[in-house]
Structure 1
């Protein structure tokens, strides 16, 4: 039997992008594990935290190790035909007895977010990981081009787009606003509320859209999140509403209820939330930076000028155009359906088989 080991430790943080990726990849591979075993003689193993043993069902195997013992796993006498690091931030960085190694690269945002010694350290760590790899893959053409522009990648690679979960939960939002309810009509933004998400521009923009409301959901406990809270307090229009981290059911309800989804991000390797919103037939307004034009395609609206006044003008102009034609929503849904996890998982399996056969 051949063994494929996937480092899925990020399953412990499923609401983060790489955690969602590991969860969906693991679920998809576990469904096809019997076929892989019977047809190709392949057994699938996942490295997970001890408390997550069994998280992908009983057709796959688990290597459970506490995080503080992660360096010992490199020396574990476990022969592996393929070791897959599903993102470049993996805590378990190597299996010495692996015949082939594959790493999925989601972004090199550190090149734009860090400076000085922190940047130099991030570059060294990334270069060390890439040098150990026999194969790579990227979650978008942009990430592939961007990575190869900054680094000399010798390992062959390909692009496999992420899937996007279709949220079908019934509309359900618990009471999250202590003094007021969500407005009936609202624009929506969801993210980790990091500086690169450019959320402060959305808040400033709402000065010029007094007739609209904006709901922002995310983690408000960071320095940037606290700065955003101050901006909201200072806003004379009082048309910005805060929500903390939300559940999947709440997210589905917000997508279904909003007038449009707004995402002026500076740096994205893929851009999951815009496609989630498209699956609900909602118009999305994006920055024209990094991977967003590639992922959003011709159906999205793009801010060429990331100034609050221009952003407001774009929304005021394009929203009526979108809703004047009932076919636009259906076009959004059809476009977004190409990003599904079945396609993604099947492409990874095909890549695994090609690597094992090489």
Structure 2
């Protein structure tokens, strides 16, 4: 029976986008009940995966030394799927190869020198690909902008929404809550997420607090963000939770006044569609993939002047409140259109084409 190798070792990082992508795609493929080809998961901690998925998948333990060319995996799988563009683990042999591109943000964040190691490695991944999938049209367009993409089949397959159903118990409450209406955002605390602009905006929105969740063990959190909070004396109105679990995230989404996401660069943008699942107004940067993902009922910032951002929120909240039922229904409908089972089925179809079914 033919076997697809899923280079999925990033599944260990479930608090980050790649980890979420790995887990939810694998879960969707499991629920697809494929019985005419096998799939092999590649991960460091196999016991948790085996407990959840049993013998549906084959398993191979991740070893970091496999990144070195002479020590690469030599088994000739019928198809190798590299689940993101940053993976250093590659097959030893030239076998059918599918690459999923989430973004090429490293061009702006690391180096625009096309001879830089990161860019060379990505170009090599493109050149060995027999097909390429992208998580958004923006990811596809930006890849073509900076790189010569080989003449192979290309597919845009949207991510699903991790929150398909609201599973929040009525009595659940996080340790940190706001005593007045609050705006909510989530993500790793990096310059790309642009959280400090929310703090500057908050100084002009006295009726709201701001809750920020995600990995805040970063230089940006301790530097630019902390300095902005102190500058505006907003220590009592900005609540930083750190990493949170699914139930806390659902609580903050269900109870926020609005979801705010001023990110500078996204390949897709899952948090906004999670917020939409709760019928919440979403305020997003009008750049990269976010207009594509946010849709016609999202509210957008064209730039980050604090007065302008605050005005967009005030106007948007008025529009939302005066058309609440229409907007809530539109948000929920859009959120439910991003479905991991449907996403997995599209990947299954790509696998079948490359396997020659």
**C-alpha displacement of 1:73:** 8.7
Structure 2: distance between partners of 1:42 and 1:138: 23
- Residue in structure 2 matched with residue 185 of structure 1 by the alignment: 181
Gaps in structure 2 of 5+ consecutive residues = none
Counterpart of 1:274 in structure 2 is 272
Cα gap change, 1:130/1:242 in structure 2, threshold over 3 Å: closer, same or farther? same
Preserved contact between residue 6 and residue 84 of structure 1 (Cα < 8 Å): yes
Per mean C-alpha deviation after superposition, the further-off stretch among 5-14 and 322-331 is 322-331
How far 1:120 sits from its partner (Å)? Answer: 2.0
Using the size of structure 2 for normalisation, the TM-score is: 0.92
Q: Which residue of 1 aligns with 2:10?
A: 10
TM-score (structure 1 length as normaliser): 0.91
Structure 2 partner of 1:160: 157
Deviation at 1:202, TM superposition (A): 0.6
Deviations 1:265-290 (A, max 9, x none): 11010001000000110000001000
- Native 8 Å contact 1:74 1:94 kept in 2: no
Aligned residue runs from structure 1 range 82-231, under 5 A = 82-96=79-93, 98=95, 100-115=96-111, 120-154=116-150, 155-166=152-163, 168-170=166-168, 172-176=172-176, 181-227=177-223, 228-231=225-228
After superposition, give the CA deviation of every residue in 1:289-321 in whole Å (9 maximum; x if it has no partner).
000000101010011232111000111111022
Task: Tell me the equivalent position of 1:232.
Answer: 229
Give the conservation status (yes or no) of the 8 Å contact 2:174–2:251: no
Does residue 297 in structure 1 map to residue 295 in structure 2? yes
- Which residue number corresponds to residue 26 of structure 1? 26
RMSD between superposed Cα atoms in Å: 2.0
**Structure 1 partner of 2:347:** 348
Equivalent residues of 2:101, 2:135 under 8 A apart:
yes
- Give the match's secondary structure for 1:104: strand
Distance, in Å, in 2 between the alignment partners of 1:3 and 1:97 is 15
| Structure 2 partner of 1:336 | 335
SS at match of 2:3: strand
Partner of 1:242: 240
SS of alignment partner, residue 89 of structure 1: coil
Give the whole-Å Cα distance in 2 for the aligned partners of 1:74 and 1:347.
Answer: 32
Following superposition, the deviation at residue 322 of structure 1 comes to 0.2
What corresponds to 1:49 in structure 2?
A: 44
The structure showing larger relative contact order (alpha-carbon pairs under 8 Å, at least 6 residues apart) is: 2
Residue 118 of structure 1: how far off its partner (Å):
9.8
1:66-123 Cα distance to aligned partner (Å, 9 max, x none): 223444796544221111011111242224163x100000000011112377982221
Q: Give the gaps of 5 or more residues in structure 1.
A: none
- Aligned pair count reads 348
**Secondary structure in structure 1 of the residue aligned to 2:75:** coil
Answer yes or no: is the 8 Å Cα contact 2:15–2:243 preserved in 1. Answer: no
Report the CA distance shift for 1:5/1:73 in structure 2 as closer, same or farther (over 3 A): farther
Q: Partners of 1:219 and 1:121 in 2: how far apart? A: 27
